[in-house]
Amino acid sequence: MFVDKFNDAPQLITFADLYLRPGKTNTDPDNISLQSKITKRIKLQRPFVASPMDTVTESEMAIAIARSGGVGVLHRNCSIEQEVAMAKRVKRAEAFIIDEVVTIKSELTIGQAKDFMRINSISGLPVINDDDEVIGILTKRDVRFASNDSLVSEMMSKDLVTADKNISVENAKILLHKRRIEKLIITDDRNKLHGLLTVKDLERRGKYPLSTHDEDGKLVVGAAIGPFDEKRALALDPYVDFILIDLAHGHNMNAMRSASRISEKIDAELVYGSLGSQEAVEDVVSTIENVAGLRVGIGSGAICSTSVVTKASAPTLYSTTQVASKVNELGLDIPVIADGGITNAGDAALTFAMGASSVMMGSMFAGCRESPGQLLAIQGKMMKSYRGMGSAAAKSVRFALDRYSKPAKGGLAEGVEGYVPFRGVVQDVVDEFTQGLQAAFGYAGAGSVNEMWNNAKLGRISPQGIKETKPHDIYPNVNTENYSLN
Ligand code: XMP
């Protein structure tokens, strides 16, 4: 039996083991579509996901990556209230129609109106009566030279331009232009205030044409929870588009049963992981009926020490192959998220060749300006800190938050802490990966993610051949001025 085990040990392929073989293409790289999905419902124009880690994704990262066409998953190394506040911040960052509108009553004074405007940093207040009907609008222009004692009712403009809540972006633009106004009051069918639409928000929308947004024009965001944290799931549910069950070893039947109960109580979609085998897929889909995404990869992350301390590993490329094949075989449409160890667009391209729908990255995004943490200068190099969520430091935060609970697996650390090079803003990283992926898809003869699944062919080279496929026999670039023989 042991001999069989030994003889049957499969190769756990990693990114270094495979290459894409060239295939026929009819598409220029710039025209290759990277459109994909992270869950059954959520489409991404750029298939990149920021990891739920406390040195990677808080509101600022989630906003930046959603604007660039990807999506972020908020980490859970904080209180429920803090995670909810992060989600709310993302949802408030952009909206086609602002639904939390600051209003004022007509019997208040201009002095009070000015205070409202200053405190909330806004330039216009809809005036409403006791029945929530809009009876006027008061803008900065109306109050600029007015006495603080005058009443809102005397200064407000009663010539209102309102629109129905179902107005399209195009019609809103036409109306704002025709009436030369900056704000459009949106009412419901009983003339009650529903929201406000501003020129500024429309302009912002034009600035990020690839952004990942929901049907209200708000940015899409996901949030991580522990597998048994139903309270957190219910608190986050109104403010997030998907909830990710954040577990290192997802093939855990107790965790699956709990995730299944949670999924029945929330409106957000549920993403489950991390998985690394075909058997795990069978158990997940038979336990969590409405699972909407699968996160795969165990032990490949830049900060992972799981494979070192436990000798357990399902490298990301291997896991992607196993999980995507089983999903396919079962005829299911559940996007696979390849997570861990991706260091360049080529690694990402290999996961698409093996059936992934998106790639999750920690280290690449930890180095961005929008990740939490300070920019540091270490030995003359710009760096940002990055640590595993299973590292001693990250676990101690979790332990401090809930001193009465025993941290999972006691004090065993399965992650390390360190620094990653500063990479500029998120948009730079997304652009770099976009160009690299489009080039890789082009070589592989694929014009889309779907074609990559179907067309990409792979090849292996011998360990001796690796040298030839990397830059070789050249000295690194140095300043040659002083050595010129001419
Ligand atoms: P990269 O390579 O993109 O990997 O930085 C990010 C992924 O690594 C996982 N992760 C961990 N794995 N111990 C682990 O074994 C840890 O402490 C740890 N923290 C994060 C996670 O899947 C993440 O998305």
| In a shared domain, residues 124 and 52 | no
The H or E element that residue 280 is part of is helix 278-287
| In a shared domain, residues 387 and 405 | yes
Return the sign of the alpha-carbon dihedral for residues 84, 85, 90, 95: positive
pLDDT for 481: 65
Q: Tell me whether strands 19-21 and 457-459 are parallel, antiparallel or unpaired.
A: antiparallel
| In a shared domain, residues 337 and 364 | yes
Work out the number of other CB atoms within 10 angstroms of the CB of residue 115.
Answer: 13
- What is the domain range of residue 338? 2-92+211-469
pLDDT for 479: 66
Q: Domain with 358 in it: what CATH number? A: 3.20.20.70
* Count: domains in the chain: 2
Q: How far apart are CA 83 and CA 81, in angstroms?
A: 6
Using alpha carbons, select from 459, 458, 339, 375 the residue that is nearest to residue 48. 339
> Tokens 């990710």 belong to which residue?
244
CA of 10 to the centre of ligand 1 (A): 23
Q: Is 214 helix (H, G, I), strand (E, B) or coil?
A: coil
| In a shared domain, residues 356 and 421 | yes
pLDDT for 27: 86
Q: Do the Cβ atoms of 134 and 159 come closer than 8 Å? A: no
Using alpha carbons, select from 382, 361, 376, 381 the residue that is nearest to residue 426. 361
Which ligand 1 atom is nearest residue 305's CA?
15
pLDDT for 96: 79
Pocket of ligand 1 (CB under 6 A): 51, 53, 248, 274, 299, 301-304, 306, 339-342, 360-363, 388-391, 414-415
Q: Do the Cβ atoms of 240 and 232 come closer than 8 Å? A: no
Q: Domain with 109 in it: what CATH number? A: 3.10.580.10
Query: Would you call 78 a catalytic residue per the annotation?
Result: no
Q: How far apart are CA 94 and CA 100, in angstroms?
A: 12
Work out the number of other CB atoms within 10 angstroms of the CB of residue 110.
Answer: 21
Q: Does residue 232 form part of some domain?
A: yes
Q: Do the Cβ atoms of 93 and 219 come closer than 8 Å? A: yes
| In a shared domain, residues 333 and 360 | yes
| In a shared domain, residues 290 and 166 | no
Q: Is 45 helix (H, G, I), strand (E, B) or coil?
A: coil
Q: How far apart are CA 240 and CA 229, in angstroms?
A: 16
The H or E element that residue 222 is part of is strand 222-225
Q: Does residue 474 form part of some domain?
A: no
Q: Do the Cβ atoms of 218 and 94 come closer than 8 Å? A: yes
Q: Do the Cβ atoms of 419 and 55 come closer than 8 Å? A: no
| In a shared domain, residues 66 and 184 | no
| In a shared domain, residues 189 and 221 | no
pLDDT for 183: 85
Phi–psi pair at 168, nearest 5 degrees:
-85, 160
Q: Is 386 helix (H, G, I), strand (E, B) or coil?
A: strand
Which ligand 1 atom is nearest residue 300's CA?
2
| In a shared domain, residues 449 and 390 | yes
| In a shared domain, residues 198 and 222 | no
Task: Determine which one of 304, 368, 387, 423 is catalytic.
Answer: 304
Token pair for 272: 């489950």
Residue-level pLDDT, tens digit, the chain, 486 residues = 899 999 999 999 999 999 999 999 988 889 999 999 999 999 999 999 999 999 999 999 999 999 999 999 999 999 999 999 999 999 988 877 887 788 999 999 999 999 988 888 888 899 999 888 899 999 988 988 989 999 999 999 988 888 988 888 888 889 989 988 888 899 888 888 888 888 887 887 778 999 999 988 899 999 999 999 999 999 999 999 999 999 999 999 999 999 999 999 999 999 999 999 999 999 999 999 999 999 999 999 999 888 888 999 999 999 999 999 999 999 999 999 999 999 999 999 999 999 999 999 999 999 999 999 889 999 899 999 999 999 989 988 877 776 555 566 667 888 899 999 999 999 999 999 999 999 999 999 999 999 999 999 999 999 888 888 888 888 877 666 666 666
